[in-house]
């Protein structure tokens, strides 16, 4: 039983579990209207509303299929089959490219409400493809994959999808209970799909991020749609010392494009560092090159009166899209965003969490230069 029942056949050949999650969010944001022209936000949303299944089919075949219906739209999330009968695992389907610690982690387990800004800015996301991974050693993992670049949603004609290559290597020289040192590096190279047949969709890449790391904020740093290919490098590091943890990542993405759109190839970058502390003694659990579900020592319930787990955290998060902005046509929004975040998380039990974030961004460069975007976010999260 893992939130929802995990069913197994008598002979152990098969397993099956229904899975899903709900995130109920409120965002209140001052978007600095005098500079940006965008009014304030006070809005609720179901940030995630997911339903899916996972299972094991005849010993060695693992599958996972999860859908997000937030906003009354359908979006396929993890949807893959994986053969685990060899020393390395072989996977095919729709899953995340192998880049960035925080991008790899389930949003159920991240410390703040939204992942670091560079993950959105550099579009580190799921694609359809195949991968090979090794994660059976406690001290390192290695993964690589090849994907079609084109997202599936809204496509009506299919020509050359483009190709995305991705690989990630992690090491955990120290990996004990409540003591972890994690290091990692990843790379991604991708080509944009060929022009869509009727010209209605521009397949080139763009780069952008939401203000104050809040999902209902507008985007105040953004590039035009101009990238024909790009190459991303990312470095990761994290340390767990009992209830205390620090984590940081750095990523840079070099964009290649045709001369007509840009007379120089920009290199964008982003990085963050965060620190978090459990007041109630829990520690961040680590497995297979990422952090996983927190085990709450004294869950809240009417009968026993536990207090759950309380965690406080801070992050400094930068994404810089200002490089070569004068050399790129239409680069009016190409600026840098620096964001401070403070977060408090209340884990009521292993599957239920309330989150509270206070965030502030400063925009440097571009048409929103000097804007300060400040806001709060609240979330009720439950997964099964």
Binding positions for its own copies, 88-107, rule CB under 8 A: 92-94
Q: Which of residues 224-263 bind its own copies (CB under 8 A)?
A: none
Q: Across the strands, what pairs with 374?
A: 30, 360
Tokens of 272: 């963050």
Is the backbone of residue 85 left (phi > 0), alpha (psi -120 to 50) or beta? alpha
**Residues near 270 by Cβ (< 8 Å), separated by ≥ 6?**
116, 117, 118, 121, 122, 250, 251, 252, 317, 318, 319, 320
- Interface of this chain with its own copies, residues 177 to 196, rule: CB under 8 A: 194
Given candidates 89, 102, 161, 336, which one binds its own copies under the rule CB under 8 A? 161
d(CA 295, CA 293): 6
Site for its own copies in 44-73 (CB under 8 A): 44-46, 49, 51-53, 55, 57-61, 63, 65, 67, 69-73
* Nearest distance in Å: CB 208, its own copies: 15
Under rule CB under 8 A, residue 329 binds its own copies: no
- Binding to its own copies (CB under 8 A): which residues in 338-367? 348-352
- Window 291 to 320, contacts with its own copies (CB under 8 A): 299-303
CB of 347 to its own copies, least distance (A): 11
- Least distance CB 199 / its own copies (angstroms): 13
Choose which of 107, 109, 152, 225 interacts with its own copies (CB under 8 A): 152
Nearest Cα to Cα of residue 212 among 291, 297, 117, 285? 117
* 375 lies in the site for its own copies, by CB under 8 A: no
Single out the residue of 106, 137, 155, 263 in contact with its own copies (rule: CB under 8 A). 155
Residues in region 193-212 near its own copies by CB under 8 A: 194, 197
Among 135, 189, 201, 218, binds its own copies (CB under 8 A): 218
Closest separation between CB of residue 150 and its own copies, Å?
A: 7
The binder of its own copies chosen from 100, 104, 118, 129 (CB under 8 A) = 129
Phi/psi at 71 (5° precision) = 70, 20
* Alpha-carbon distance values, 65 to 18, 59, 244, 341 (Å): 10, 18, 34, 33
* Residue 64 or 182 with smaller CB distance to its own copies: 64
C-alpha–C-alpha distance, residues 361 and 374, integer Å:
6
C-alpha angle 192/195/197, rounded to 5°?
A: 145
Pairing of strands 229-241, 219-222: unpaired
CA distance between the termini of the chain: 10
Shortest reach from residue 378's CB to its own copies, in Å = 9
| Binding of residue 74 to its own copies (CB under 8 A) | yes
Beta carbon of residue 346, minimum distance to its own copies (angstroms, whole number): 12
């Amino acid at each position: 039983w893992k939130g929802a029942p995990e069913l197994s056949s008598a002979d152990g050949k098969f397993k099956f579990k229904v899975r899903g999650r709900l995130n109920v969010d409120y965002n209140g944001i001052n978007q600095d209207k005098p500079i940006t022209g965008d009014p304030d936000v006070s809005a609720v949303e179901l940030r995630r509303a997911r339903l899916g299944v996972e299972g094991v089919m005849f010993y060695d075949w693992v599958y996972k299929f999860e859908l997000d219906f937030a906003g009354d739209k359908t979006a396929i999330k993890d949807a893959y089959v994986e053969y685990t009968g060899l020393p390395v695992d072989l996977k095919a389907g729709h899953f995340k490219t192998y880049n960035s610690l925080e991008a790899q982690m389930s949003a159920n387990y991240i410390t703040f409400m939204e992942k670091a800004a560079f993950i959105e800015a550099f579009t580190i996301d799921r694609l359809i493809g195949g991968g090979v991974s090794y994660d059976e050693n406690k001290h390192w993992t290695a993964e690589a994959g090849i994907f079609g670049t084109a997202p599936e949603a809204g496509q009506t004609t299919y020509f050359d999808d483009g190709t995305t290559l991705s690989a990630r290597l992690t090491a955990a020289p120290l990996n004990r209970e409540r003591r972890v040192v994690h290091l990692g590096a990843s790379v991604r190279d991708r080509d944009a799909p060929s022009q869509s047949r009727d010209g209605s969709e521009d397949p080139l890449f763009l780069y952008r991020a939401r203000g104050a790391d809040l999902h209902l904020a507008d985007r105040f740093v953004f590039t035009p749609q101009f990238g024909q290919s790009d190459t991303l490098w990312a470095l990761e590091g994290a340390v767990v010392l009992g209830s205390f943890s620090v984590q940081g990542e750095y990523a840079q993405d070099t964009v290649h494009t045709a001369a007509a759109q840009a007379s120089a190839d920009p290199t964008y970058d982003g990085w963050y560092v965060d620190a978090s502390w459990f007041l109630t003694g829990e520690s961040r659990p680590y497995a297979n090159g990422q952090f996983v579900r927190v085990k709450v020592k004294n869950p809240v319930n009417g009968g026993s009166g536990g207090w759950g787990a309380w965690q406080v955290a801070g992050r400094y998060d930068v994404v810089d899209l200002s490089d070569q902005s004068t050399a790129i046509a239409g680069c009016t929004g190409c600026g840098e965003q620096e964001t401070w975040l403070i977060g408090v998380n209340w884990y009521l039990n292993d599957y239920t969490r309330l989150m509270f974030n206070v965030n502030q961004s400063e925009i440097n460069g571009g048409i929103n230069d000097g804007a300060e975007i400040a806001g709060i976010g609240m979330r009720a999260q439950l997964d099964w």
